Amino acid sequence: MAVHTLSYVQTAQADTLPPPLLVRGPIAWVRQNLFSSIPNTILTLVVVYLLYVVIPPVIRFLITDAVWTGIDRNACREDVIHRPVGACWAFVADRLSYFTYGSYPIPERWRVDVFFALMAVGIAWMLWLKAPAKGLGALYFFVVFPIASFILLTGWSAVGLTPVPTAFWGGIMLTLLVSIVGIVFSLPFGILLALGRRSKLPLVRLASVIFIEVVRGVPLITVLIMANTMLPLFLPQGVSVDRLLRPLVGVSLFSAAYMAEVVRGGLQAVPKGQYEGAMSLGLGYGRMMYFIVLPQALRIVIPGIVNTFIGLFKDTTLVSIVGLLDLVRAIEASRVDPIWAAPTVSYTGYAFAALFYWICCFGMSRYSIMVERKLAAGQRR
Amino acid sequence: MSTIAQAAPPSRGSVLYDPKIRGAAYQILLVVVVAFLIYSASVNAIDNLRAAKIASGFGFLENTSGFDVNQTLVSYGATSTYGRAFVVGLLNTLLVAAIGIVLATFLGFFIGVARLSPNWIVARVATAYVELIRNLPLLLQLLFWYIAVLRPLPDARNSVSFGLGFFLNNRGMYLPRPLIDGDAWYVVIALGIGVVAALAFGGWAHRRQMTTGTQYPVVRTGALLILGLPALVWILTGITAGNPIAFEIPEQTRFNLRGGLQVFPEFVALTLGLVIYTAAFIAEVVRAGILAVSKGQTEAADALGLRSATTLKLVVIPQAMRVITPPLTSQYLNLTKNSSLAVAIGYPDLVQVFMGTVLNQTGQAIECVAITMAVYLAISLITSAVMNSYNRRMAMVER
H, E, C per residue of chain B: CHHHHCCCCCCCCCHHHCHHHHHHHHHHHHHHHHHHHHHHHHHHHHHHHHHCCCCCCHHHHHCECCCCCCCCCCCCCCCCEHHHHHHHHHHHHHHHHHHHHHHHHHHHHHHHHHHCCCCHHHHHHHHHHHHHHHCCCHHHHHHHHHHHHHCCCCCHHHCEEEECCEEEECCEEEECEEEECCCHHHHHHHHHHHHHHHHHHHHHHHHHHHHHCCCCCHHHHHHHHHHHHHHHHHHHHHHHHCCCEEEECCEECCCCEECCEEECHHHHHHHHHHHHHHHHHHHHHHHHHHHHCCHHHHHHHHHCCCCHHHHHHHHHHHHHHHHHHHHHHHHHHHHHHHHHHHHHHCCCCHHHHHHHHHHHHHCCHHHHHHHHHHHHHHHHHHHHHHHHHHHHHHCCCCC
DSSP-derived 3-state class of residue A88? strand
**CB contact (8 A) between residue B148 and residue A347:** yes
Cβ distance of A221 and B144 shorter than 8 Å: no
- pLDDT, position A380: 58
User: Sign of the CA dihedral B11, B13, B19, B20?
Assistant: positive
Beta strands B245-248 and B177-180, pairing class: antiparallel
| Residue of A37, A40, A233 for testing the chain B interface, max B β-carbons within 10 Å | A233
Are residues A328 and B137, on separate chains, in Cβ contact within 8 Å? yes
In the prediction, which pLDDT does B396 show? 63
Q: B interface mutation test: which of A47, A172, A211, A215 has the most B CBs within 10 A?
A: A47
**Closest residue of chain A to B345, computed from CA coordinates:** A321
Q: How many inter-chain contacts (A to B, CB under 8 Å) are there?
A: 150
Please name the residue of chain A whose CA is at the shortest distance from the CA of residue B152: A343
Judging contacts by C-beta atoms under 8 Å, the chain B residues touching residue A366 are none
Partner-chain residue, chosen from A201, A230, A237, that has the shortest CB–CB distance to B27: A201
> Looking at the complex, does the CB of residue B55 fall below 8 Å from at least one CB of chain A?
no
Domain ranges of chain A: 29-63, 182-375
More confident residue, B168 or A367: A367
User: In the predicted model, is pLDDT for residue B60 greater than 70?
Assistant: yes
Residues above pLDDT 70, as percent of chain A: 96
Q: How far is A7 from chain B (nearest CA, A)?
A: 39
| Mean pLDDT score of chain B | 84
Label residue B9 by pLDDT band (50, 70, 90): low
Poorest-pLDDT segment among B125-139, B144-158, B285-299: B144-158
Residue type, B269: A
pLDDT at B41 over 80: yes
Distance of CA B398 to the CA centre of its chain: 33
Chain A CB within 8 Å of residue B360 CB: no
In this predicted structure, the answer to whether residue A68 has a pLDDT above a threshold of 90 is no
Give B41 to chain A, closest Cα distance, Å. Answer: 4
Q: Regarding beta strands B245-248 and B166-169, do their DSSP bridges make them parallel or antiparallel, or are they unpaired?
A: unpaired
Residues from chain B that touch A201, judged by Cβ atoms under 8 A, are 23, 26-27
Q: What is the pLDDT of residue B335?
A: 93
CB contact under 8 A, A233 and B31: no
A220-263 per-position pLDDT tens digit: 999 999 998 888 888 887 777 888 889 999 999 999 999 999 99
How does residue B32 score in pLDDT terms, banded at 50, 70 and 90?
A: very high
Contact B340 A219 (CB under 8 A): yes
Distance between alpha carbon B366 and the CA centroid of its chain, in Å? 27
Q: Which residue has the higher pLDDT, A287 or B180?
A: A287
Amino acid at A32: Q
Residue A358 has what pLDDT? 95
Cβ pair A226:B119 closer than 8 A: no
Residue A215's closest chain B neighbor by CA? Answer: B377
Cβ contact B136–A234 (<8 Å): no
Distance from B135 to chain A by nearest Cα, in Å?
Answer: 5
User: Average pLDDT for residues A55-81, to the nearest whole number?
Assistant: 85
DSSP string, A224-269: HHHHHHHHHHHSPTT----TTHHHHHHHHHHHHHHHHHHHHHHHHH
- For residue B5, pLDDT over 60 is answered with no
- Phi, psi torsion values for B315, nearest 5 degrees: -115, -55
The chain-wide mean pLDDT, for chain A, equals: 87
Confirm or reject contact between B36 and chain A (CB < 8 A).
Answer: no
CA angle centred on B28, ends B26 and B31, rounded to 5°: 110
CB contacts of A226 in chain B (<8 Å) are 365, 369, 373
Chain A contact for B309, CB < 8 A?
A: no
Q: Out of A359-368, B20-29, B269-278, which region has the weakest mean confidence (pLDDT)?
A: B20-29
Range ranked top by mean pLDDT from A152-161, A298-307, B12-21, B308-317: A298-307
Q: What per-residue confidence (pLDDT) applies to A3?
A: 63
Q: Does B147 touch chain A (CB under 8 A)?
A: yes
For the stretch B24-47, what's the b/e string if a residue is b when 16 or more beta carbons lie within 10 angstroms of its beta carbon? eeebeebeeeeeeeeeeeeebbee
Interface test with A, best of B18, B27, B357, B375 (most A CBs within 10 A): B27
Instruction: State percent of chain B over pLDDT 70.
Output: 91
**Is residue B48 less than 8 Å (CB to CB) from chain A?**
yes
Mutation site, A31, A199, A225, interface B, largest B CB count within 10 A: A225
- Structure letter (DSSP) for residue A35: S
Position B8 pLDDT exceeds 80: no
**Does residue B218 belong to the interface with chain A, where contact is any CB pair within 8 Å?**
no
How close B24 gets to chain A, by Cα (Å)? 8
B343/A236 touch (CB, cutoff 8 Å), yes or no = no
| pLDDT at residue B85 in the model | 87
A12 CA: distance to closest CA in chain B (Å): 41
CATH architecture of A182-375: Orthogonal Bundle (1.10)
Q: Which residues of A touch B150 (CB under 8 A)?
A: none
Distance from CA of B17 to the nearest CA of A (A): 11
Subunit contact B27:A354, Cβ cutoff 8 A: no
Please report which confidence band the pLDDT of residue B95 belongs to, taking 50, 70 and 90 as the band edges: very high
- pLDDT tens-digit readout, A305-314: 999 999 999 9
Q: What integer is the mean pLDDT of B35-52?
A: 87
The arithmetic mean of pLDDT across residues B378-397, rounded, is 81
With contacts defined as CB-CB under 8 Å, which chain A residues touch B44?
233-237
Band (pLDDT 50/70/90 cuts) for residue A362 is very high
- Please tell me which of the candidates A44, A204, A357 has its beta carbon nearest to residue B135: A357
pLDDT band at B255 (very low <50, low <70, confident <90, very high): low
d(CA A113, CA A121): 12
Out of A133-137, A259-263, B188-192, B201-205, give the one with best mean pLDDT.
A259-263
**Of B274, B276, B369, B371, which to mutate for an interface test with A (greatest number of A Cβ within 10 Å)?**
B369
Listed range (A342-346, B252-256, B335-339) with the worst mean pLDDT: B252-256
The mean-pLDDT minimum among A253-262, B76-85, B170-179 falls in: B170-179
Shortest distance between the Cα of A19 and any Cα of chain B, in A, equals 25
Long-range CB contacts for residues A143-148, cutoff 8 Å, separation at least 24: A145/A118, A145/A119, A145/A184, A146/A180, A146/A181, A146/A184, A148/A118
pLDDT of residue B172 exceeding 80, the answer is no
B142 CB within 8 Å of a chain A CB: no
pLDDT at B1: 44
Question: Are B125 and A204 within 8 A, CB to CB?
Answer: no
The residue in chain A having the minimum alpha-carbon distance to the alpha carbon of residue B118 is A33
CB A252 within 8 A of CB A187: no
- Please report the pLDDT score of residue B398 as a whole number: 58
Percent of chain A with pLDDT over 90: 38
Q: Do B137 and A347 touch (CB under 8 A)?
A: no
